A and B are shown apart, each in its own frame.
Chain A
């Protein structure tokens, strides 16, 4: 079946512009995660959605970053007034169920959106 898809695959923007990154999770997956991967680094958690609500936004680096999810499916990550330090690969992952104590729900990752801020 189809995996997690993200668009665009690459985005080049000028400093100060706003960008929107899109994630289509695997159909039926209720949990959705956004991560950021800077060059040569590991992945950094940004935000988690369960359905349309975001119980954990603790990883968003500043108030320029926001995300929403509609219909329990597609999610959009918006970065306002982009800065050069926002340049990174933004990865989305989804899992079948909500996290549960004592259990692990595998997260399936999309290919990411490579954002370059000039």
Chain B
């Protein structure tokens, strides 16, 4: 049955669609923001990062946008594939010993 407390936002898309995953952060002093992908039974895997002095960064099929005015971060995945299905976390990288502060996470499900 469904687990109590599992209230992560979910996003369902069709294969080939573009996906946008959003994240609000709290610490305006954070120097870097990172997106991680976590597949079932595995640890988080780095996707892309962006420094606080940038507003956009592109990788392979992924783009991260940073809006410091409203403390908002988004991850765009182009041509989403079934292998992209996972939980996606944003994280703030603090200058205090480099610890990561993670957001709640979003479950992305890609339907073939």
Q: Give the A-B contact count at a CB cut-off of 8 A.
A: 75
**Given the contacts A39-B6, A40-B5, A42-B104, A4 and B43 also touching, CB distance less than 8 Å:** yes
Which size bracket describes the interface of A in this complex? 20 to 34
Docked CA distance A108–B93 (Å): 14
Instruction: Verify if B42 is at the interface (C-beta below 8 Å from A).
Output: yes
Residues B5 and A56 in contact, CB atoms below 8 Å apart? no
Q: Choose the segment among B59-67, B70-78, B94-102 that binds chain A (4+ C-beta atoms closer than 8 Å).
A: B94-102
**Contact between B97 and A48, CB atoms less than 8 A apart:** yes
Whether A45 contacts B42 in the complex (CB less than 8 A), given A39-B5, A40-B3, comes out as no
Could you tell me the distance between the alpha carbons of A105 and B8 in the complex, rounded to whole angstroms?
28
Q: Does A77 contact B (CB under 8 A)?
A: no
Closest B residue, CB atoms, query A106: B46
Contact B101 A45 (CB under 8 A): yes
A91-118: which have CB < 8 Å to B?
91, 93, 95, 98-99, 101-102, 104-112
A62 at the interface (CB under 8 A from B): no
Chain B residues in 8 Å Cβ range of A4: 43
Determine whether the beta carbon of B43 is less than 8 Å from that of A91.
yes
Interfacial chain A residues near B46, Cβ < 8 Å:
106-108
For B41, give its contact among A43, A105, A111 (CB under 8 Å).
Answer: A111
B-binding residues in A (CB < 8 A): 4, 31, 33, 35, 38-45, 48, 50, 55-56, 59, 91, 93, 95, 98-99, 101-102, 104-112
Chain A to chain B: the 8 pairs with minimum beta-carbon distance, closest first:
A99-B98, A109-B43, A40-B6, A42-B102, A56-B97, A43-B102, A104-B32, A45-B99
